[in-house]
């Protein structure tokens, strides 16, 4: 297999279930476009995207390979477009949030929640612009399928705090569970949905703050309040980070 060149954004390998590579790459290009719009930047290195249909979960690997990030997906096939978008957007968010700079700290649940939120945001953007993408010629009515997929996500149909007060009550009751397991999808989904609807869908420049995560030794933060202050400092006390933190 030919490794991706430095000038490319990604290459694909693995089992894509008979889907035409050209179409799969067109879809992936759209995901990259949307994620780059959200974060306002491109990744520093290309991404080697490998699909393992029988794998339990997708993952952004900590180790790089020949100058490339490694992302492993677990889409059932290359024809499962929504699933590919959902998984890839999540993993690209990890790459954009400096996931490997500070590993294993107890506040990783926030990164996981924000990556779930990234999947939501990318799918919503895709549903709105489908008719103007290169994929439109392959299925002109697929935007409706994207909308149905979004509505079926656990994070979109689970508990949704009505306001900040309700969120804080929920958070106080669940912070222990969040810190003990960063990838509790039920809890991450609550955080993702709440922050998307109350902050990020209204203030899209807040994504700049996500790109500042993990740039310090998060293990030094003794509690979540301390962690938030470190994040605020990394963002130079910007309006965006204060908008996010004021909601939390």
Written as six digits, the tokens of 172 are 């106080």
The CA distance from 192 to 124, in Å, is 14
Structure tokens that stand for 200 in this block: 């990020």
Length of the chain: 248
Global pTM reads: 0.94
Domain 7-248, CATH class in plain words? mainly alpha
Closest to 131 measured CA to CA, from 143, 120, 122: 143
Span 168-189, pLDDT tens digits: 999 999 999 999 999 999 999 9
The DSSP code for 65 is: B
Alpha-carbon separation of residue 82 from 44, 53, 133 (angstroms) = 26, 14, 15
| 7: pLDDT strictly greater than 80 | no
Render pLDDT for 26-79 as a digit per residue (tens, 0 to 9). Answer: 999 999 999 999 999 999 999 999 999 999 999 999 999 999 999 999 999 999
Q: What are the boundaries of each domain within the chain?
A: 7-248
pLDDT digit string, tens, across residues 79-128: 999 999 999 999 999 999 999 888 899 999 999 999 999 999 999 999 99
Is the dihedral angle over the CA atoms 240, 164, 126, 94 positive or is it negative?
positive
- Residues 129-166 have pLDDT tens digits of 999 999 999 999 999 999 999 999 999 998 999 999 99
Q: Which of 86, 94, 72, 73 is nearest to 126 (CA)?
A: 86
Q: Is 116 buried (19+), middle (13-18) or exposed (0-12) by CB count in 10 A? A: buried
Give the Å distances, CA to CA, from 117 to 9, 19, 26, 142, 203: 22, 27, 23, 22, 14
Is 60 exceeded by the pLDDT of residue 229? yes
Residue 169: count other Cβ atoms within 10 Å of its Cβ: 11
DSSP 222: -
Question: Are the C-beta atoms of residues 212 and 234 closer than 8 Å to each other?
Answer: yes
pLDDT of residue 18: 83
Residue 90 is predicted with a pLDDT of: 98
- How far apart CA 28 and CA 11 sit, in angstroms, is 10
Which pLDDT score, from 0 to 100, does residue 197 have?
96
Q: How far, in Å, CA of 76 to CA of 83, rounded?
A: 8
Spacing of C-alpha 166 from chain mean position: 25
């Amino acid at each position: 297999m030919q490794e991706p060149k430095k000038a490319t954004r990604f290459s694909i390998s693995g089992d894509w279930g008979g889907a035409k590579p050209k179409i799969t790459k067109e879809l992936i290009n759209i995901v990259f476009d949307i994620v780059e719009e959200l974060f306002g930047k491109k990744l520093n290195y290309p991404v080697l995207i490998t699909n393992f249909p029988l794998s339990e979960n997708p993952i952004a690997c900590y180790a790089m390979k020949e100058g490339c990030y490694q992302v492993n997906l677990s889409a059932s096939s290359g024809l499962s477009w929504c699933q590919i978008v959902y998984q890839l957007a999540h993993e690209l968010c990890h790459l954009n949030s400096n996931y490997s700079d500070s590993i294993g700290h107890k506040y990783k649940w926030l990164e996981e929640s924000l990556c779930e939120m990234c999947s939501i945001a990318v799918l919503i953007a895709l549903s709105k612009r489908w008719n103007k993408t290169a994929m439109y010629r392959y299925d002109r009515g697929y935007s409706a399928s994207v909308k149905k997929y979004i509505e079926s996500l656990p994070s979109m149909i689970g508990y949704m705090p009505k306001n900040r007060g309700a969120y804080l009550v929920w958070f106080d009751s669940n912070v222990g569970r969040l810190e003990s397991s960063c990838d509790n999808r039920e809890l991450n989904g609550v955080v993702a949905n709440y922050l998307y609807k109350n902050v990020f869908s209204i203030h899209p420049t807040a994504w700049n703050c996500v790109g500042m995560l993990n740039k310090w030794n998060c293990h030094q933060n003794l509690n979540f309040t301390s962690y938030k202050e470190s994040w605020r400092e990394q963002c130079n006390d910007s309006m965006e980070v204060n908008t996010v933190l004021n909601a939390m």
